Structure 1
């Protein structure tokens, strides 16, 4: 059975040999499968040589094919520069379509091999880097191998706006009040505890929190629950380290550089991290699984949403 790449190469070679490949732009040239394979190869490769290697043809063949296609379309697809061939907006759009076709071919192949229906497509998921590290990765490891035709694009961000701007399909967010225009599921409560490494605790008297080296979120997270707690209960403390993410704060704590109020799901005793007391009462939040209303019509998004709802687990202390 031919792989998607082999299908592209075959269609490309057939188009090169076809006598009617070269058409005038005025005849309303229709993009074919081979054209998509050509554009995708050059976008991925960036140079004629790498594109030729991907298509398993010679460089002159790729050069002539690009010239023919641009002439047929009446538009430029690439700009030549010292760095190679830079795609225009049209070429980028065609390459995205080509990748979807490639994914569809792969899904069809897998469906034939497995003898059943296959969930395919690309789902864009966003979360914070701490949620990715402490919560999402263990969940993905449990079920993603069951969906070989499903592509997941991950981005880490603290902003709800990327879901609102349609830059993502699903979000895992720590909040008590998710935006009303999103739909979702509350996965559980997240508490925070002051933590330190075992080595740091041996070197310092951790009973006096004001005398310790504090690691805290910077101005990038001004409304974080741990910031509000510290300002309320330790107003005289000035952090020695400021981080733009809770994952960075966790890594500094693991390195023995100080103490920080961290979410329970980042408390890793296997790495020598220990809580210095109970959770910060009144400063907990919630983990929400969110999506846009229009995404509920997409089977790939619904499938991933349901799987995350079943497999994401928050630790209990």
Structure 2
């Protein structure tokens, strides 16, 4: 084959040539390729013209390959295999998950729940980049500042789709060093007994803990909490440092060696963990992959002692 012939050679004709070679007839080749017999006949004629050699001799029962056809058969099969590898590679590229997803979560979830989840996501989907947005506001989804959000309350915006992942137990807890100094409280009333000398860690402006005590029948005021902060990370670090008794999601205790739950009979309601995504971007393949991965992995990380509760909810529908 001359250089000029090589430059004009139609590589797509090789597929038809091999089909005829393997089938032994134009009719059989057309059947195997789902093509029309005249089309294959034209392909063979074009290939013969480009090569300057006859490839098949017509017989009453079909075709017989010529010496020229047999001489190029191996190279043609290599070309076909290469084309198939090329197509497979392109298909893998099209199906690969690549892109960037912005994930919003609270300080506590971002610090204590999501790190092992995101580490697993990196191993499973190396083509996905994650931007972790630490925020307690669900509005960042509505303003499209994030694609997905992990929230500890069910979002009620109609434009969001939410999936409940778990009910997270909340526990009273303290470091073993603190308990060694001040003793283990055996009843909730001991926490409020000044004579017991316990230090309660509470919030400054957030009244969540106050409302919780009120629901259990205890009249508690800000003055009962000798340490107060609304910063979630600082709150947890105070507990971990042995500064006093606080209240936390049980999964956080894994990050604080020596911090143990106390008062197991204290009826603290669990808080729900929700995964939310804007309805219009849920169809995005990358966002959908991360959403599904988080939906499966977060309950697994929470562990058997914090079982996930199944269910998908479209808000306000």
Question: By the TM > 0.5 criterion, same fold?
Answer: yes
Offset at 1:279?
Answer: 6.3
Over 3 Å counting, the alpha-carbon distance change for 1:217 and 1:157 in structure 2 is farther
Q: Is the 8 A contact 2:210 2:220 kept in 1?
A: no
Which residue of 92, 104, 114 corresponds with 1:126?
Answer: 104
Q: Is the 8 A contact 2:138 2:155 kept in 1?
A: no
Offset at 1:295?
Answer: 1.1
Structure 2 unaligned blocks of 5 or more: 1-88, 307-317
Offset at 1:131?
Answer: 0.8
Number of equivalenced pairs:
203
**TM-score under structure 2 length normalisation:** 0.58
Offset at 1:218?
Answer: 2.7
**Are 2:267 and 1:284 equivalent residues in the alignment?**
no
| Residue equivalent to 2:33 | none
**TM-score under structure 1 length normalisation:** 0.58
Over 3 Å counting, the alpha-carbon distance change for 1:269 and 1:305 in structure 2 is closer
Offset from partner CA, 1:80-114 (integer Å, 9 cap, x none): xxxxxxxxxxxxxxxxxxxxxxxxxxxxxxx88x8
Q: Is the 8 A contact 2:171 2:268 kept in 1?
A: no
Which residue of 242, 245, 251 corresponds with 1:259?
Answer: 245
Which residue of 220, 230, 246 corresponds with 2:213?
Answer: 230
Match runs of 1:80-229 below 5 Å: 117-176=95-154, 178-207=156-185, 208-210=190-192, 211-219=197-205, 221-222=206-207, 224=208, 226-229=209-212
Structure 1 unaligned blocks of 5 or more: 1-110
SS at match of 1:218: coil
RMSD of Structure 2 on Structure 1 (CA)? 2.4
Query: Distance between the aligned counterparts of 2:278 and 2:155, measured in 1?
Result: 16
Which structure carries more relative contact order (alpha carbon 8 Å, separation 6+)? 2
Offset from partner CA, 1:62-92 (integer Å, 9 cap, x none): xxxxxxxxxxxxxxxxxxxxxxxxxxxxxxx
Q: Is the 8 A contact 1:190 1:286 kept in 2?
A: yes
Offset at 1:243?
Answer: 2.2
| Residue equivalent to 1:74 | none
Larger Rg: 2
